[in-house]
Structure 1
Amino acid sequence: MSNAPETTRAVVTPLRVVIALCLVVPFGALLWVGSYAKTDPAFIGIPFFYWYQMLWVVLSAALTMTAYRLWLRDQRAARASQAARTAPASTAEDGGAVK
């Protein structure tokens, strides 16, 4: 057997898709300039163009924070499953005790 480290392949999970969407949605919303390049409806005297962009600053921060929290959850789950796979299995010879 080789002493080469075991490599793991990236797995696409529903959680990782949600993380990607949280990070991509603000780009799509702000790159589609035609959807917000107008002055009406104004909000407390501020043209739509400006308050829409400022709204996305707050939404982007919230979505990035959500993506980060989900990523931490995903990494904890990955470490737990990796630890479960590498844990020594009990055998009948040692009476079923885990060392």
Structure 2
Amino acid sequence: MADENNDARPHKRRWLVPLIFLPFAAMLWVPFFNSAEPALAGIPFFYWYQLLWIALGAVLTIAVYFATE
């Protein structure tokens, strides 16, 4: 009985897997972040936006991994 519950769990959270592609999609649309303003601590938007998505991508990957594992 316990094995049946473990087998069904990943299927319930399968909707989380597309979250892995969110950072990829956010970086595809370059005209959206191709500007210098708003600057954050003197760093142009173009650079800190990409660095932010690196961190968010890692967090999303970890979340999806633990939710589906």
Would you identify which runs of 4 or more consecutive aligned residues in structure 1 move more than 2 Å? none
Deviation digits for residues 54-92 of structure 1, max 9, x if unmatched? Answer: 0011100000001101120xxxxxxxxxxxxxxxxxxxx
- Residue equivalent to 1:8: none
User: Residue 51 of structure 1 corresponds to which residue in structure 2?
Assistant: 48
Output the CA distance in 2 between the equivalents of 1:24 and 1:68. 13
CA RMSD of aligned residues (A): 1.1
Unaligned runs of 5+ in 2: 1-10
- Once residues 53 and 38 of structure 1 are traced to their aligned partners in structure 2, the CA distance between those partners, rounded to angstroms, is 12
* Matched length: 59
Equivalent of 1:64 in 61, 64, 68:
61
> When the two structures are superposed, what TM-score results if normalisation uses the length of structure 1?
0.56
Local SS of the residue matching 1:42: coil
TM superposition shift of 1:14: 5.1
Structure 2 Cα separation of the partners of residues 32 and 17 of structure 1: 23
Q: Which runs of 5+ in 1 are unaligned?
A: 1-12, 73-99
User: Which of 1 and 2 has greater Rg?
Assistant: 1
Percent identity between the two aligned chains: 42
Counterpart position of 2:16? 18
